[in-house]
Amino acid sequence: MTTSYFPQDDDWYDGDWYYEDDYFEEQARGPLPVDIVAVAAVLLVVVLLVAALNRAGFSRPAIPGAPVQTREEVIEEPPPAQPAPPLPVPGAETFVMPYANYVLTQGPHGMSYGHYAIDIAAGKGEPLLSPINGRVTERYFDGIGNPILVIENENYAVTMLHGLYEVTVGQEVQAGEQIGVESNQGNTRDMNGQSCRNRDCGYHTHLNVYDKRAGQNVNPLDLLPRPYAS
């Protein structure tokens, strides 16, 4: 153990005695360590403050040339695709009958259910013609098995029933172009009112015309471009 005391300069002495070993050990340790818990608490406060500012919409000043970060944008799903409307076509006023030669088998009927159609016939397997320049917008079977074809342009929507159709939805057709042949598919009847299902009778076309400009069904007979037989 060191027996001498240090320092011994009375002018420097502050009232406490130090052993030499104690003095040099303290000098080697250096200043007391900083409180680690306090530093960690300050850093945590800073991190929480920055996160709160970011949530509030604040951001750091942009660095020239650096990509700009923005809030995540909500991407809306596009609406489902809709069927294309009938295209305006040259000669939208043009209207021809579905047959070159035909017989009117039933005059205007169907008014009670808002259809207003006529029945015409040319014979089993005779070519069916498009009455207008337009596009096929529907082709399906209804609840009682009638094959239905709809052709439209900006002026008319023409609906035909009972034929064997050869065109597809979306196909553009010209007035007078063959679209199928006459048949008796679906709910057709003979002259005695008997069903022609699975029988060789009842061949005809049920024809309905909706005038878009007037907003209503019209009598197809008023659109006949030539005399008809009854």
Tell which residue, 180, 172, 174, 199, has the closest CA to residue 188.
Answer: 199
Backbone angles phi, psi at 111, to 5 degrees: -60, -30
Res 69 pLDDT > 70: no
Beta strands 172-173 and 134-141, pairing class: antiparallel
CA atoms within 13 A on the CB side of 230: 6
More confident residue, 210 or 78: 210
At 12, the pLDDT band (50, 70, 90 cuts) reads very low
The gap between the terminal CA atoms of the chain, to the nearest Å, is 142
At 17, the pLDDT band (50, 70, 90 cuts) reads very low
At 112, the pLDDT band (50, 70, 90 cuts) reads confident
More confident residue, 179 or 116: 179
Radius of gyration, alpha carbons of the chain: 47
Residues near 138 by Cβ (< 8 Å), separated by ≥ 6?
A: 148, 149, 150, 169
The predicted-structure confidence for 167-183, as pLDDT tens digits, reads as follows: 999 999 999 999 999 99
Q: Do the Cβ atoms of 136 and 150 come closer than 8 Å? A: yes
CA distance 145 to 141: 5
Res 145 pLDDT > 90: yes
Structural domains in the chain, sorted by start: 1-59 (no CATH), 103-223 (2.70.70.10)
